[in-house]
Amino acid sequence: MKSFIAGLPKAELHLHIEGTFEPELMFKLAERNGITLPYESVEALHKAYDFSNLQDFLDIYYQGMNVLRTEQDFHDLTWAYLQRVSEQAVSHVEIFFDPQGHVERDISFETALNGIYSALQQGQKQFGISFGIIMCFLRHLDEDDAFKTLEMALPHKDKIIGVGLDSSETGNPPSKFERVFAKAHAEGFHVVAHAGEEGPPEYIIEALDLLKVERVDHGNTCLKDAELVKRLVAEKMPLTVCPLSNTKLCVVDDMKNHPLPEMLKAGLQVMINSDDPAYFGGYLNENYEAISGLLNDDKELLAELAKNSFQSAFISDEGKAAGIQKINDYVTQFNAG
């Protein structure tokens, strides 16, 4: 199954670039920037990656991104991610970045964006990986701050395809950001939001009704509301599920209880993503591997998940069809042995 997954063509739709910051690179960039990390070694940092909930993780995640200072740092971070996924049959990525996490440290919006963008361009050239950049608003901050961030993005519509909503979910419902999402929508950005990771199904409903999202990031808790599930199925609303993230952040107590099989059975448009792979123990292949046993290693189901990743991407209909065709060809070839 490992070899089937390794070669299966896939797209990644839920990935925080700051969440790809591997400890080795963090130490290297800290040294380059004259920063002392509060950990003695790569191993000590790894050991700190033991989370009991989303907030536990976010505290370490924001601490880690302090090391990113220059455009070159953002480039190197993104390039390291692309090198990894280029070996995982990933041909399209839509990546999040958190501008407010940088601007509040006096790192300019452009420093972050340009570093990320130049690496993605290089990845397209060298590996043939197509891409989109989605900037997320930090939901623990207020809507005014999100508006300011949206203003910063307006001159960069050529580089940014969408806006999202991330950070601490509980107590920060989508309704807090209704006006800024309306403006982002009016400006022509795609819109997505994290909802139903730790938060209740009502947050997913708000994301749909108030933010008018085109994808729900995570969405796990929809299963608590049968009417909502029916609606998500009817609307073919993509849910960007992240298995290793869910177990690492204790959203799911054990991988054997992961809701993905139930979600597939319900007819939800789900696919697999890696969220913050450096912190959660695996990139896309490892996430597929983590869930494969629960699907009885059914190659058709794994292929369906990969097809959903292209189907749900912000790409042309031709691009979606090409991705799905690549998967069909791959499965046929694989089965022919």
Q: Which residues bind ligand ADE (CB under 6 A)?
A: 16, 19, 54, 61, 166-167, 194, 197, 245, 275-276
Q: Which of 34, 60, 62 is nearest to 47 (CA)?
A: 60
| Residue keyed to tokens 């910063």 | 152
Site for Zn ion in 253-282 (CB under 5 A): 275
Angle at 207 between CA 203 and CA 213, to 5 degrees: 155
The residue among 81 and 89 lying less far from ligand ADE, judged by its C-beta, is 81
Compute the least distance from the CB of residue 96 to Zn ion, in Å.
Answer: 7
> Taking CB within 5 to 8 Å according to partner kind, which of Zn ion, ligand ADE, none is near residue 197?
ligand ADE
Catalytic, 40? Answer no
Compute the least distance from the CB of residue 14 to Zn ion, in Å.
Answer: 6
The residue among 54 and 120 lying less far from ligand ADE, judged by its C-beta, is 54
Is the Cβ–Cβ distance between 38 and 26 less than 8 Å? no
Angle at 82 between CA 311 and CA 191, to 5 degrees: 40
Compute the least distance from the CB of residue 167 to ligand ADE, in Å.
Answer: 5
Active-site pick, 22, 71, 169, 197: 197
Is the Cβ–Cβ distance between 195 and 169 less than 8 Å? yes
Sign of the four-CA dihedral 16, 18, 22, 25 = positive
Strand 130-138 and strand 90-97: the pairing is parallel
- CB-based closest residue to Zn ion: 275
The residue among 174 and 323 lying less far from ligand ADE, judged by its C-beta, is 174
Please, what is the end-to-end C-alpha distance for the chain in angstroms?
A: 13
Compute the least distance from the CB of residue 197 to ligand ADE, in Å.
Answer: 5
Catalytic residue list: 197
Q: Enumerate binding residues for Zn ion (CB under 5 A).
A: 275
